[in-house]
Amino acid sequence: MLRNVLLMATSGLVLFSKEFVNAIAQPRLIGSLLTAILEFSAKTTGAPVSYMEFAHVAVAVVTNEHAKVFCAIFLDVCDGPKFGSFIAKEILAAFVNEYAGDLGNIGHNLRDFHGFHYKISEVIRESAKPILATLQQHRGIQKAILVTDDTVTYATVDVDHLGVLVNLQSLRTLSADMIVVSVAFVGDNAKSVTLQAGRNCSIHVSSIENATLVVTYKQNGAACVAAIDDAIFMLHRVYRLINNLHHHTAVIPVH
């Protein structure tokens, strides 16, 4: 779960702070500490710190050297460094793109960045696209389709949306039957089903929160399966963030 987001100039100036769960009481103090850690790490090892893990909270940090801005996000340890860095990168890229013309003169109009509060939910929703794009790049993956509320949200290749939804309904019916069987014989719910569609092609269907992921791939052994599992892990956390956005919307003002 995402807890807090800090966007800062590399000089240590806090540009934007948002809470999801627990507010950072003194964002400037935390910002100064993070800046000091980044500088110390760069001087002693030649590379800045990108991830810090504590007992229950982790911090992922991503820097845009050209814009001289970095994003630090506080999240649960179980979310892991890969997901933390991914979300921080997406948020930072959106921030730099939104305020590229203002970042050269950030000493006087910090309140101009408060509007980014409304952008974060969009960034998180759209982050499913780069996850599937990364999956598509793996050798053997033919196509990946994400369906939400009976709508094709994103597809890595051009598809017949109506045809996808018709076929998906058949796959969902099969999945429901598989769930009944799994509960009866295994004692647990089935979250995914893999079908052999041809001599050298498989179809993977996975339920992810309120969405369905469909991936067709050539039978390339563990490589494709591992890539699909990684995408599912990332998508699960993205959709959990989306669901939590409706409950945690406060912005911490920067004075």
Count of structural domains, the chain = 2
Last residue of a domain, one of 124, 151, 167: 124
Last residue of a domain, one of 83, 108, 124: 124
Interval 19-37 mean pLDDT: 71
* Any domain includes 251: no
Q: Which of 68-72, 156-160, 244-248 has the highest mean pLDDT?
A: 68-72
* Any domain includes 254: no
pLDDT bin (cut points 50, 70, 90) of residue 50 is confident
Q: Give yes or no for residue 213 having a pLDDT over 80.
A: yes
Q: In angstroms, rounded to a whole number, what is the distance separating the alpha carbons of residues 57 and 79?
A: 10
Q: Identify whether residues 172 and 65 lie together within a single domain.
A: no
Q: Give yes or no for residue 26 having a pLDDT over 80.
A: no
Question: Mean pLDDT lowest for which of 32-41, 51-60, 133-142, 171-180?
Answer: 171-180
Interval 137-159 mean pLDDT: 84
For the record, the structure tokens of 149 come out as 């509320």
* Any domain includes 255: no
Q: Identify whether residues 134 and 120 lie together within a single domain.
A: no
Helix, strand or coil, per DSSP, at residue 53: strand
For the chain, the C-alpha Rg in angstroms (whole number) is 21
Q: Is pLDDT larger for residue 63 or for residue 168?
A: 63
Of 248, 237, 255, nearest in space to 5 by CA:
248
CATH number at residue 206: 3.30.450.30
Whole-model pTM: value is: 0.80
Task: Provide the residue range defining the domain that includes 18.
Answer: 2-124
Q: In angstroms, rounded to a whole number, what is the distance separating the alpha carbons of residues 111 and 91?
A: 18
Strand pairing class (69-76; 211-218)? unpaired
Q: Is pLDDT larger for residue 38 or for residue 141?
A: 141
Q: Is pLDDT larger for residue 178 or for residue 88?
A: 88
